[in-house]
Structure 1
Amino acid sequence: MSSRIYERQFDEDDGQTLPTDPGCPECGGDTVTDGGETACVECGLVVEEYRIDHRGRLYTGFDEETNVERTGPPLTEARHDRGLSSEIGWKRDAHGNTLSGQKQRQIARLRTQQHRGRFDSRAERNLAHAFGEIARLVAAVDCPRAVRESASALYRRAQNENLIRGRSIERVAAAAVYAACRQDGVVLSPADLAGVSSCTVREVRRTYGVLNTELGLATPIVDAAGFLPRIAADCDAPADVQQRARELVDDAREAGYVNGRSQAGVAAGCLYVAGIDAEQRMTQARLANAADVSTATLRSRVAEIRDLEA
């Protein structure tokens, strides 16, 4: 058998670099596999998607002598019961055969009773509603599945700490998604969440502050390089400009220019300088709007980067 079929492999372990992968076709950077997606660590381009989950949950029988085992779907934090409940189908049985009309009506009645009895308390019903809102927000801002799991776990912790009382479910759900993005290193602003939810930017920030203080979240500071792909995508910056901007960010970090400054503003300033050097001019207003900073802040960062080049 020819070995050419092994020229490219897929590694389901999160964060594992594919050694046989030639690299990102856009910028040539390294690629990693995380949650079924192969993405570039430099520009964020999703090179390949593989959504089939081959993992399983192992059930061991109570009788150790017989050692009865079976597998099922993995546990998930995105369900109020962590995915342990059963789902009743609709028109077909387990073999794919169509059910008769009488059997379908019987299954419909069972499905109604099962839906009514799946929540043991009002808290579980509210939890299911919150997880549905989290799933909607994550899909609206195009975040990976891991963010949904982390946000659901944070919301469950907030409910156990009695932090939901006096606050709407939508506000806490949006704050949990923002906190999960901060923890997982996903660049997302409160304005992005406020645009797809029923709460304001101020409410997202204030509720996130409550979660951060009361739950003691370990939220790392997002580096300026993390803002480059999103700002560059909003401003249609070419790949060579992004690469030059990343080099400028590294130089500014080594010189200590990024300390105490808005990381998004530093990224926007580096993109502006890189665009001028490559004769790909982008307006200051467009870059400042994409970075959610003022044009005065952008001009200050540009002046500092120019001094660094000199």
Structure 2
Amino acid sequence: MSNNASEKTVSDVQSTTTEERGHEPTVEHEPSRRSACPECEGQVITEDEQSFCTDCGLIVADEWVDLSPTLNDLGLVGDADQSIETVDPLRTDKGLHTKIGRSTDGHGNPLSNEQWEKVQRLRKWHKRMQFGEKRKRTKRLNEGLRDVEMIGGNLNLPDHVVKMAAQFLRSASEARLPGGRMAWEALAGGAVLLAARASSVDRDEIDVAVATHTKAPHERVCAAARKIRCECGFDAPLIRPNAVMKVVDALDDDAIPGARAVRTWRLAQHLMQLGDQVPVGPGTPRCTVAASALYAADRLLSRKHLTQEQVAAAASTIVPTSRNRIARYSRELVDAYEAEHGTDDPGVGLEEERDTLR
């Protein structure tokens, strides 16, 4: 018998019609990119994951989808969410890990004493492998991500906002921002605050709402949000864009003369923008830096009117502020102004601020 009679060619296999194949899948490596049949030049259409010729029935491509029952359908697992998990930025290993129950097995049955001890040993070794070499820092990041999830759940924030906050917190961890007075709890609240501001979620007084459910004071949450935005370079909206004006309103009415007040406020606004770019006091609440910018603007202008005690007292009505901070940050802002413009002439900054307002 000849080879042609004894062997099926690839063309014969591909030319089997859909009715003759039944439910048997055909293995194809790539989907069809053809618009005409390679055999009869007929029209090729795609239907039900198959590309075939409408004239001769040649199957040009077949993308087979496995519709077999899942483990949950077969009753082999108690919870389908534990059998297959998606990648999740809220977890330190992006969600690609196994969940180990604490008191029940996969079917929900209680564990015996021997099984419970075995599960405890498995969980211990699993955590060691999950967190890797930087186990201590990764565990702190894991706790921070849990705080982000908790805050988002209490405020009923959308999933995309919570996941954006998780990305902000991861960036803060990579930039080594936690440490000193900047705790993980404050960074978690700051990350949620930035994500809520950056999204289209319409929330009134979102900073107060976030601070209510954060394990850190309101002052530290706002400071953490500013630090993440400044240090990591995120293009997120300002937490308190009118901080300078709030400090001006908190001053006594006769602290700055009327005509002088406008020039001082505009120059302070310019210094505040420089303070965000440098940055100056990234881990400090924005109102504290705004008060320092107001005092620095008064120093740059002729005929000084403000004192450190006056500015600190006005800013303390908004957020706790000391004279030492006002003196320190005002010097840094003046240095940043001179480094930016090459002079301490206030007219340069006022001119740029005027162009910005236009």
Please, what TM-score do these two structures have when normalized by structure 1? 0.43
TM norm structure 2? 0.38
